[in-house]
Amino acid sequence: MLEAEEPGINATGKSGGVIASLPARVSPFEIINKYGEDLGRQLLSLYGNSGKYTFSLIQELGLDCSPQDSGFLAPARPGKELESLKSKSAEWQSFGFDIQYLDKKSITRLSGLDLYGGAILDPNGGGVNPLAFARELARVCAEKGVKLYTRSRVTGFSRVGESWRLKTSDGQLKAKKVILCAGGDNRGLHGDLEKSVMPLNVFQFSTEPLSERIRETLLPDDHSLTDVHTDIFTMRFDRDGRLITACPAFLSSNTKDRAIYAVTQRLKRISPLLNSVRIEDIWQGTAWLGTSLLPKFCDHSEGLYSIQACNGRGLAVNTLLGREVAQFIQSSAYENSSLLVSQPDFIHPYGLMRHAPNLFISAVRCRNLVIEKLKTRIRGS
Amino acid sequence: MHVAKNMDPEDSGVSPLWKSTAPPLATFDTLKGEQEADIAIVGAGIAGLSVATISASQGSKSACWRLRNRE
């Protein structure tokens, strides 16, 4: 196993650590319609079982990564989104998954925010310390005899005879099969993947540990929360009661001062309880989005495979996809495996589209700001 | 406005929060010379680590993971 830096240091360790068994945006019927019964149902099962599997793996291997299997909330503000949440949760239930719809009263109590009109509850979601999760998996790998090389960035690889040669700055690894799992960095490793994903730059923040008084009201049952709106709002508490939230980066002058100012203002708007909380840490990560927003396992022939990044909420689903891929590789025949293989997304024109995610969110933000200003003006007049 | 204490300017590094509450990283080697394996996984994020953990757990098959030094 070759790692360019150290385990979990990229998208994994820069995430907010949300565990969710629900794909962002897409509904079960949309998945079945788009991918057909076989692949569609497999994707549903991959998602629907991913939260439960992730927590059971953590427990089984005794990974020290602060798991909180308290559940995941996907709320929406009052409006047309609520109908879509209701039908999504009914769809998940019809496929046998434990997904519930919460009314305004329940989501107001479980979030502690007077903001939302309803929500989907995924009881098998929650959160982890994602860097600890990766480090602990790396420890277990080493104990089980996997040879993991760190600070060994693959600079190129080629097919020589019946095997692959992977080059790093100080060495060379010969292997029969290669699985590219480098997230956004897969782009540089294979021509087919160069234009497969678009970056969404995100700032993540954590506050000081918050008081008991605040925690009794905000997420009193310790759920993770990510709402369904384009200018996404997300929050969860870490094991010490620090509030973790995120905010997509801006189009220009992405300074941390500006990000902290923006997030502080936003927290104030969201709840009076968050009027004067102190942001302790800030970090920046990149979510890589495929156009389908779904995880992919691709076969590039001659024993070369890739797992493709999908939607920036990949911790749980990639944990389970990893198990499926491991079983697939061992069985090494399609007919012996339940894992179906897809094509990587091809994004065109890439030079323009790679800016789309941040651009789109900025446009929605501007629109919301104008609406808010107009409302204030109308109220004022 | 509140000022964050850990404002490493424009660092591309990992989250200071997760780092401060994670177990320390074990020591691993850097790839040197010519090595051989049945399966090479590129990238130790959650996807790659999960593939490796489960492959290694699948009984005797995990033997194929042990790299042979060709020198």
Residues A332-358 have pLDDT tens digits of 555 544 566 666 666 666 666 667 677
Q: What mean pLDDT, rounded, does chain A reach? A: 87
Q: Kindly give the interhelix angle for A28-48 and A315-331, rounded to the nearest 10 degrees.
A: 80
Inter-chain touch B21–A239, beta carbons under 8 Å: yes
Element (H, E) at A173: strand A171-180
For residue A28, pLDDT over 80 is answered with yes
Which residues have a Cβ under 8 Å from the Cβ of A369 and sit 6 or more positions away? Answer: none
* Higher per-residue confidence, A121 vs A362: A121
- Phi, psi dihedrals of residue B33, rounded to the nearest 5°: 70, -160
Quote the pLDDT of residue A195.
72
* Higher per-residue confidence, A339 vs A53: A53
Instruction: Tell whether B59 lies on the interface with A, counting CB pairs under 8 A.
Output: no
Q: What is the pTM of this model?
A: 0.88
Inter-chain touch A185–B43, beta carbons under 8 Å: yes
Quote the pLDDT of residue A124.
96
The strand pairing partners of A304, in sequence order, are A178
Per mean pLDDT, which of A33-42, A175-184, A213-222, A333-342 is the most reliable?
A: A213-222
For residue A91, pLDDT over 80 is answered with yes
For residue A373, pLDDT over 90 is answered with no
> Which of A134, A146, A329 is the closest to B46 by Cβ?
A134
The domain spans of chain B are 36-71
Which residues of chain B lie closer than 8 angstroms to A166, CB-CB?
Answer: 40, 42
- Measured between alpha carbons, how far apart are the two ends of chain B, in Å? 60
**Nearest Cα to Cα of residue A183 among A346, A327, A358, A9:** A9
Per mean pLDDT, which of A12-16, A309-313, A315-319, A357-361 is the most reliable?
A: A315-319
Inter-chain touch A178–B30, beta carbons under 8 Å: no
> Residues in chain B with pLDDT < 70?
1-13, 59-71
Identify the three-state secondary structure at position A139. Answer: helix
Q: Which of A103-107, A152-156, A219-223, A298-302 bottoms out in mean pLDDT, i.e. has the lowest?
A: A298-302
> Which of A170, A179, A242 is the closest to B30 by Cβ?
A170
- Measured distance CA(A2)–CA(A82) in Å, rounded: 45
Quote the pLDDT of residue A135.
96
Which residues of chain A lie closer than 8 angstroms to B49, CB-CB?
Answer: 7-8, 134, 137-138, 141, 322
Inter-chain touch A141–B32, beta carbons under 8 Å: no
Name residue, tokens 């709320």. A75
- Compute the C-alpha angle A23/A368/A348, nearest 5°: 50
Query: What mean pLDDT is predicted for residues A185-190?
Result: 82
CB proximity under 8 Å: B 15-44 to A: 15-19, 21-26, 28-44
For residue A372, pLDDT over 80 is answered with no
Contact at 8 Å (CB) between A321 and A43?
Answer: no
How far apart, in Å, are the Cα atoms of A165 and each of A54, A70, A176, A329, B49? Answer: 33, 44, 9, 18, 21
Inter-chain touch B25–A327, beta carbons under 8 Å: no
**Which two tokens mark A335?**
């007919």
Identify the three-state secondary structure at position A362. Answer: helix
- CA A210 to chain CA centroid, nearest Å: 25
Q: What does the pLDDT look like over A194-223, one tens digit per residue? A: 777 777 788 899 999 999 999 999 999 999
Query: Is residue A55 exposed (0-12), middle (13-18) or buried (19+ Cβ within 10 Å)?
Result: buried
CA distance B60 to chain A (A): 11
Inter-chain touch B30–A149, beta carbons under 8 Å: yes
Query: What mean pLDDT is predicted for residues A72-97?
Result: 95
Identify the three-state secondary structure at position A73. Answer: strand
> Which of A141, A174, A238 is the closest to B21 by Cβ?
A238
Which residues have a Cβ under 8 Å from the Cβ of A96 and sit 6 or more positions away? Answer: none
Which pLDDT band, with edges at 50, 70 and 90, does A381 fall under?
low
Quote the pLDDT of residue A256.
84
Which residues of chain A lie closer than 8 angstroms to B65, CB-CB?
Answer: 144-147
Quote the pLDDT of residue A136.
97
Query: What mean pLDDT is predicted for residues A150-161?
Result: 92
CA distance B21 to chain A (A): 8
Which residues of chain A lie closer than 8 angstroms to B34, CB-CB?
Answer: 171-174
